[in-house]
Amino acid sequence: MPIPAPFLGAAVQFEPTLGDRKGNFRTLLKLTEGAAIAGAKLIVLPEMATTGYCFHDRAEIAPHVEPIPGPTTDAFTAICAAHDCWIVLGMPEVLEESGTYYNSAVLLGPSGVEGLYRKTHAYISDPKWAKDGDLGLPVFDTPLGRIGIAICMDAAYPETFRIPALRGADVIAFPTNWLTEKAPSPTWWARAVESGVYVIAANRWGLERGVQFDGGSCIIDPDGTILNSVDDGDAVITATIDPARARTKRPHPDTPGHLLDSRRYDAYTTLPLNTYLWNPTEMHGLYGHRPLPDGRKSRIGVLQMEPHPGNAGANLATVASLLATKAARGLELVVLPEFALCGQPATKMQAGAWAEPIPGPSTIALAAIAQASDCRIVAAMIERDGRRLFNTAVLIGPNGPDGAWGVESRYRKLHLTDSDATWATPGNLGLPTVDTPLGRIGMLIGFDALFPEAARVLALDGADLIACPSMCAYPAVAPWGETAIPQPAWIEAGPTDDHFHLWRERSRENNTYVAFANTPKAGGWSGIFSPGPEDEPRNDALVRGTDFDLATTTMDTTDSTSRQATNPVRAKPLLRMRQPIWYDPLHVSPESWLLGAPPEDWE
């Protein structure tokens, strides 16, 4: 089918008055019609825009719920008909035949209701009155292009945006009432970048029953560029949406590979499992099999260095020198960048010349360095296995008889960049984790970060730490300026130079430590990111910019009780609240008819 032409999208930022449906309705109609008169063809309004958000219970919200279609949708449909536009409106819905309430968003067009989405992942206040969404994660075909919808807390779950992207969404309309961090949220950024889609984020602002909402409504393009945004106040922002850019899945010249075709769905078979539904300290050790390692505190680090191409000796010397410094004293694990032992090959011939078997000269030498420093090392190299070459990460530790040091675990990169694909075989070992005294450790490499499924699989398997050797320039770490919205003391309301960092998002959406070691030429910003959610103080350690340096922190897997996990890295509260019933399309082949079918046709 022909790709639709570019059009103007709009996000409406608005502070509703709790329970004042008539007053909110009048202001919203005025803001929305203004956007339509200005030429906007897709206009997104905030979550619960007609009523406010902080209701105590079903009884309090009961006078304000409406059926869909109903009087409110009829009024906004009139705007669509008069201006040939489409509107996504967040509102509380009642299903009259059952009396069930939903936190919903309705897609309206010139002819009326064209689509309905019900919030899938509930925030803390939603269960006081609303049922979890039961319509799945649909995509709606319109003359503008393919539109998906997500609501607020849904964005904390990559699955909620990923599945519409797999079903062909060009843009995700995102009504939200986001809070507890400076907005635009880096989480919204991540959802756009990882799937190459536009995100129109319409947030509310202001204070309601003591809850401070963040504002920061924005329109994000498929490479993560913020096309337009507003900090606080009622406002309408617009930007051009080009469906052709969303369909390339290579939205920026630095995109290292295809964002969807490079997926390895065969490695994602555990994604629909709800492994954190029960107490993880019991579930992971059920029947005596693979209990989580005992909790402890461990010093870990990441080294930002530039490997010497084709000179394993020089690279090993760099590592040995670093581990002998005062800054590295007491480290129990250090992560090195991608190709740390050999440098990045420019040709298939170079890759073949620099490749080694495992074990081989470089891993044996690295084991001696690790043993001398009593520090585990995660390093990446070109592995030769017969005629095949792999982009491989190894964990070096004391795994042999009598504590001899060697390769404890090995991971072969699953998601290959365009450059990797000229010489490397796609990884064939899946996404393994290994238990060490420090905790349960998984590994990813570079481009794997663009695939939220990979980190999720490791987290579902109980990973305390994901070690990430990288040589990754995309997406770039992004700064953001000051916000006028009051924030908790631990959130920097002023300008920040690392507001968006994709690996930080991987840590917080999975409640898992992430140790990301990058190279200076690939943009740097190596760091160790802690597993807490956005509404708690974090304990990140960064190498700012492109310096050669070491960042260190303490990884804490201890718990206040041996029976019930409370430490986020062990309890993984965000994983517990996933809705895997809707996630099957993540691990089926792209050719499967399931991807385009509504949930009721999946049997």
Contact 204, 213 (CB under 8 A): yes
- How long, in residues, is the chain? 603
Q: Which of 82, 70, 84, 90 is nearest to 28 (CA)?
A: 90
Whose tokens are 């990288």? That residue is 470
Judge whether 375 counts as a catalytic residue: no
The SS3 assignment for 141 reads strand
Please give the Cα distance from 519 to 307 (Å, whole number). Answer: 8
CA-CA distance, 61 to 99, in Å (whole number)? 12
Q: Would you call 539 exposed, middle or buried from its count of C-beta atoms within 10 A (0-12, 13-18, 19+)?
A: middle
Residue type, 58: R
- In degrees and rounded to multiples of 5, residue 377 shows phi and psi of -130, 135
Pairing of strands 465-469, 496-500: unpaired
Distance CA 218, CA 147 (A): 17
Residue of 66, 93, 114, 119 with catalytic role = 119
Q: Which of 15, 47, 356, 534 is catalytic?
A: 47
Residue 595, helix vs strand vs coil: helix
Q: Is 281 helix (H, G, I), strand (E, B) or coil?
A: helix
Kind and range of the H or E run holding 497: strand 496-500
Q: Give me the phi and psi of 176, to 5 degrees please.
A: -150, 160
* Chain center to CA of 12: 24
Query: Strand pairing partners for 240?
Result: 8
Is-catalytic flag, 152?
A: yes
The CA distance from 474 to 218, in Å, is 21
- Candidates 355, 358, 370; CA nearest to 411 is 358
Give, as one character, the DSSP assignment of residue 596: G
Task: Centre a 10 Å sphere on the Cβ of residue 185 and count the other Cβ atoms it contains.
Answer: 25
Cα angle, residue 522 at apex, residues 519 and 525 outer, rounded to 5°: 65
Q: Position of tokens 């072969």?
A: 412
Residue type, 540: D
Furthest-apart CA atoms within the chain: distance in Å = 80
To the query of whether residue 85 is one of the catalytic residues in this protein, the response is no
| Structural contact between residues 457 and 439, judged by C-beta atoms closer than 8 angstroms | no
Strand order through the sheet with 86-95? 112-118, 100-109, 86-95, 42-44, 7-13, 235-241
Give the start-end residues of each E strand in 242-289.
none
Burial of 103 (C-beta count, 10 Å sphere; 0-12/13-18/19+) = buried
Catalytic residue selected from 15, 93, 114, 152:
152
Angle between helix 21-37 and 71-83 (nearest 10): 10
What's the rounded Cα separation, in Å, for the pair 402 and 538?
A: 39
Residues with Cβ within 8 Å of residue 297, at least 6 apart in sequence: 554, 555, 556, 557, 558
Alpha-carbon distance of 42 to 569, in angstroms, equals 40
Catalytic residues: 47, 119, 152
